[in-house]
A and B are shown apart, each in its own frame.
Chain A
Amino acid sequence: MTAVTTDANPQDARKAGRIVYLAAVVLLCAWVLVPLYFLLINTLSSPEAVNSFPKSFFPAFDLGSLTFFANFGGMLSALKNSIIVAALTMVLSILIGAPAGYALSRFDFRGKELFRLLILLTRAFPLPLLALPLAVLFIRTGLDDTALGLALVHTTLAIPFAVLITFSLFSGIPIELEEAAWTLGCTRLTAFTKVVLPLILPGITASAIFAFVISWNEVFAAAVLTIENRTLTAFLLQTLGEAPLHLKFAGGFILVVPALIFIFAVRKYLFAMWGIANR
């Protein structure tokens, strides 16, 4: 490798690079946040303001639209259902998915490619078509209209993420690390729990986040498979498409907030990985 030291003044170049870098970070943050800010403005505007032109770029703090939803019957129980379903989805998809991710990364076995394809197929086929046979199955078995039933369907959606993310994480951990642990007297299982698991915990968190938001945002199965135990998304988003504009925005906002809080709450597990990996 040849060193690149042609810069006339490395000090200046580094400073310029630093500015470009900071500017890029700020710009990318703005790219994500500005559309959300618009959503916030529209949520906090009166119906007239939502329909007006040109639009104001500062929220008017009109709470009319939000109050409408606050008085909307059944919001709280729908919120509770959403959380239960999403939590179940999270636990199920990791319990079921992570072992497969480990197997894919560590072993060569017959049918491996086929297995990987099967995992991916689940995301390549539209759920609304599968919902009919699933609903018939659930009605017959009594899983219909339960949080567990819906969580099972959401788990099929989340599993590809759980399997593939854990697979890529396990692949990133040298097998020598495990082998060293075996020679030091660990069994395969204890080597896994004591050495590997702590390393990939952040990645597990990543797939947990996926599972949570997938379940949280899924509408169709939720609308078909829950009646009494509607989730918040089925409850709100179902009807949101045809709501007057100001309620559309407020409803969208209400759906976004819990997901943001969840990601915020678990972010430290996700981002703790540097502490471990960069020993």
Chain B
Amino acid sequence: MTLISKLSGAVSGLAILCAATAAQAEVLFWSTQARPVEEAQAMRDTVLSGFDGGVDYQPNEDGPWLTRIKAELEAGQGSIEVMGALHGNFSAMNPDDLQDLGDLGLSSVSDTFNSLAMLGTDQMQYIPWMQASYIMAANKEALQYLPEGADINALTYDQLIAWTANVEEATGEKKFGFPAGPKGLKHRFFQGYLYPSYTDGVVRTFASPEAVTAWEKFSELWSHTNPASTNFSFMQEQLLSGDAWIVFDHTSRLAQAFNERPDDFVAFPAPAGPTGRGFMPVLAGLAIPRTAPDMDAAKALVGYMMQPETQIATLRATNFFPVVDVELPDDLPPSVRAAGDAVAKMSAAPDANPGLLPAGLGDRGGDFDRVFVDTFERIILAGQPIDAVLEDQKKTLARIMEETGAPCWAPDAASEGPCPVE
């Protein structure tokens, strides 16, 4: 018995010791962004080190991020001061749980972003923090196989398909890479690129005849796509290993390739379809939960993150671009220059057809994404007939729109009431 009592004594002693060291000192920054170890380290070393009082920067995957913040809100107390996450993460939260940040006098240069940040209320629920987009990138070795007359900065989907077919013919390998892995951002390609480029819509046109064409074209592209794409989530890896030569992905998920071998790769705009060159932004924001223990410190940190110098430091660390007016320096890393260039060309293209982020879906954003992922998996991976799948998925989509009452967003034509699936 003595041994057991000794042990339990030791256990409780340890517990007291541990509890004593858990004193709160720094501002806890709870983020879903800048997760890769190098980016997280850069956030701590270069971006946040200038903040008085110190910041404890903790990047997490969506699962733990969400679980923790939900728990703190439910318990009515917590330690998270500032949250950094994507627009979609915030729109899934209850706006009442987020502090109104209107009194900070902070906003982005984009009115669209500012109104997205209100999450359908009349208050600033989060502050737009940084932005990115999805682009194409290619290994320079692939350039020789570009179809005749094609301009890499003004490609069409047909030219892209011909290009990937040429590469396959010449090398014997399927070298188009598509992030269809579990963590890949494939749904964004369908929502923001394929659908707008072929149907000039996302929701209204979901099951239109044009949408059938779009999926047929995509199947054609898929036939020249590396079949291991279902394992790809960060296309920089396959660019670097040579498993893929031509890829589509998020700018920050291509960064490592450009930074490691800047001379070997090119970045270029997404292709265009019959209804223009569809593309889509990525928006991250900063919010303060109502349970933040030190509201003043939290607001000070948000203010610090929005200063031009901090925004440039953030750009270097994460490959996300500023949302405030800043003058970009010349000595940016290769990945930033390549991506910035491609995004600029994409926005300035005469046939540009920019889409917006889904809005008004609340916590059904995941269900909305799943409609597109399921459609992809059924048509492309399971080989089910396009018409039948679209007809079936259409019901799910219509139900989501009706239940949330979300109005249409660009490029869909505006709607009175919930966006209809036609």
Interface residue B337 (Cβ < 8 Å from any Cβ of A):
no
Residue in chain A with minimal CB distance to B243: A53
At the interface with chain A, which of B53-61, B188-196, B353-361?
Answer: B53-61
Q: Are A135 and B41 neighbours in the complex by a CB distance under 8 Å? A: no
Contacts of B28 in A (CB 8 A): 227
Interface residue A244 (Cβ < 8 Å from any Cβ of B):
yes
Q: CA–CA, A160 to B36, complex, Å?
A: 35
Contacts of B36 in A (CB 8 A): 239, 242-244, 247
A224-B64, A224-B67 are known contacts. Are A147 and B7 too (CB-CB below 8 A)? no
Q: Are B40 and A146 neighbours in the complex by a CB distance under 8 Å? A: no
Residue in chain B with minimal CB distance to A219: B64
Q: CA–CA, A229 to B23, complex, Å?
A: 10
Q: Are A239 and B37 neighbours in the complex by a CB distance under 8 Å? A: yes
* B223 CB to nearest chain A CB (Å): 24
Interface residue A110 (Cβ < 8 Å from any Cβ of B):
no
Interface residue A172 (Cβ < 8 Å from any Cβ of B):
no
Q: Are A229 and B260 neighbours in the complex by a CB distance under 8 Å? A: no
Q: CA–CA, A244 to B11, complex, Å?
A: 39
- Contacting residues of chain A (60-87) with chain B, CB-CB under 8 angstroms: 68, 72-73, 84
Contacts of B71 in A (CB 8 A): 131-132, 135-136, 139, 224
At the interface with chain B, which of A12-20, A25-33, A88-96, A163-171?
Answer: A88-96
Q: Are B41 and A73 neighbours in the complex by a CB distance under 8 Å? A: yes
Q: CA–CA, A84 to B15, complex, Å?
A: 10
A136-B71, A241-B61 are known contacts. Are A147 and B37 too (CB-CB below 8 A)? no
Interface residue A140 (Cβ < 8 Å from any Cβ of B):
yes
A135-B68, A220-B63 are known contacts. Are A227 and B58 too (CB-CB below 8 A)? yes
Q: Are B22 and A228 neighbours in the complex by a CB distance under 8 Å? A: yes
Interface residue A203 (Cβ < 8 Å from any Cβ of B):
no
Choice from A91, A142, A230, A241 contacting B19 with Cβ under 8 Å: A142
Contacts of A122 in B (CB 8 A): none
Q: Are B35 and A242 neighbours in the complex by a CB distance under 8 Å? A: yes
Q: Are B241 and A51 neighbours in the complex by a CB distance under 8 Å? A: yes
Q: Are A95 and B37 neighbours in the complex by a CB distance under 8 Å? A: no
Q: CA–CA, A260 to B68, complex, Å?
A: 31
* B250 CB to nearest chain A CB (Å): 11
Choice from B56, B58, B59, B237 contacting A245 with Cβ under 8 Å: B237
Interface residue A39 (Cβ < 8 Å from any Cβ of B):
no
Q: CA–CA, A73 to B240, complex, Å?
A: 28
Residue in chain B with minimal CB distance to A222: B64
Q: How many positions in chain A have a CB within 8 Å of any CB in the partner chain? A: 44
- Contacting residues of chain A (226-246) with chain B, CB-CB under 8 angstroms: 227-230, 236, 238-245
Q: How many positions in chain B have a CB within 8 Å of any CB in the partner chain? A: 47
Q: Are B18 and A147 neighbours in the complex by a CB distance under 8 Å? A: yes
Contacts of A136 in B (CB 8 A): 71, 74-75
* A183 CB to nearest chain B CB (Å): 23
Q: CA–CA, A29 to B68, complex, Å?
A: 42
- Contacting residues of chain A (208-263) with chain B, CB-CB under 8 angstroms: 220, 223-224, 227-230, 236, 238-245, 247, 251
Interface residue A47 (Cβ < 8 Å from any Cβ of B):
yes
Q: Are B63 and A229 neighbours in the complex by a CB distance under 8 Å? A: no
Q: Are B78 and A128 neighbours in the complex by a CB distance under 8 Å? A: no
Contacts of A229 in B (CB 8 A): 18, 21-22
Q: CA–CA, A146 to B236, complex, Å?
A: 38
Q: CA–CA, A244 to B39, complex, Å?
A: 10
Contacts of A227 in B (CB 8 A): 28, 56, 58, 79
Contacts of B256 in A (CB 8 A): 244
Interface residue B44 (Cβ < 8 Å from any Cβ of A):
yes
Contacts of B67 in A (CB 8 A): 128, 131-132, 135, 224
Interface residue A145 (Cβ < 8 Å from any Cβ of B):
yes
A131-B67, A239-B59 are known contacts. Are A147 and B72 too (CB-CB below 8 A)? no
* B73 CB to nearest chain A CB (Å): 9
Interface residue B111 (Cβ < 8 Å from any Cβ of A):
no
Q: Are B241 and A223 neighbours in the complex by a CB distance under 8 Å? A: no
Choice from A53, A84, A242, A245 contacting B18 with Cβ under 8 Å: A84
Interface residue B348 (Cβ < 8 Å from any Cβ of A):
no
Interface residue B4 (Cβ < 8 Å from any Cβ of A):
yes
Q: CA–CA, A147 to B256, complex, Å?
A: 36
Residue in chain A with minimal CB distance to B238: A51
* B294 CB to nearest chain A CB (Å): 14
Q: CA–CA, A227 to B22, complex, Å?
A: 9
Contacts of A132 in B (CB 8 A): 67, 70-71, 74
Q: Are B79 and A145 neighbours in the complex by a CB distance under 8 Å? A: yes
Interface residue A148 (Cβ < 8 Å from any Cβ of B):
yes
Contacts of B183 in A (CB 8 A): 241-242
Interface residue B94 (Cβ < 8 Å from any Cβ of A):
no
Q: Are A91 and B236 neighbours in the complex by a CB distance under 8 Å? A: no
Contacts of B72 in A (CB 8 A): 135, 139
Contacts of A240 in B (CB 8 A): 37
Interface residue B242 (Cβ < 8 Å from any Cβ of A):
yes
Contacts of A242 in B (CB 8 A): 35-36, 183, 234
- Contacting residues of chain B (1-47) with chain A, CB-CB under 8 angstroms: 4, 7-8, 10-11, 14-15, 18-19, 21-24, 28, 35-38, 40-41, 44
Q: CA–CA, A144 to B21, complex, Å?
A: 13
Q: CA–CA, A9 to B237, complex, Å?
A: 59
Q: Are B68 and A224 neighbours in the complex by a CB distance under 8 Å? A: yes
* A218 CB to nearest chain B CB (Å): 12
Q: Are A146 and B38 neighbours in the complex by a CB distance under 8 Å? A: no
18 A-B interface contacts by CB (under 8 A)? A48-B260, A52-B241, A91-B10, A95-B7, A131-B71, A136-B75, A223-B61, A227-B79, A228-B21, A228-B23, A228-B56, A239-B37, A241-B35, A241-B183, A243-B38, A244-B256, A245-B240, A247-B38
**Which residues of B line the A interface, CB within 8 A?**
4, 7-8, 10-11, 14-15, 18-19, 21-24, 28, 35-38, 40-41, 44, 56, 58-61, 63-64, 67-68, 70-72, 74-75, 77-79, 183, 234, 236-237, 240-242, 256, 260
Enumerate the 5 nearest inter-chain pairs by beta-carbon distance, A residue then B residue, closest first. A135-B71, A223-B64, A148-B15, A139-B75, A147-B18
**Which residues of A line the B interface, CB within 8 A?**
47-48, 51-53, 68, 72-73, 84, 88, 91-92, 95, 128, 131-132, 135-136, 139-140, 142, 144-148, 220, 223-224, 227-230, 236, 238-245, 247, 251
Given A68-B37, A72-B41; 9 other pairs, CB 8 A cutoff? A51-B242, A88-B11, A91-B7, A132-B70, A132-B74, A146-B15, A223-B61, A229-B22, A239-B59
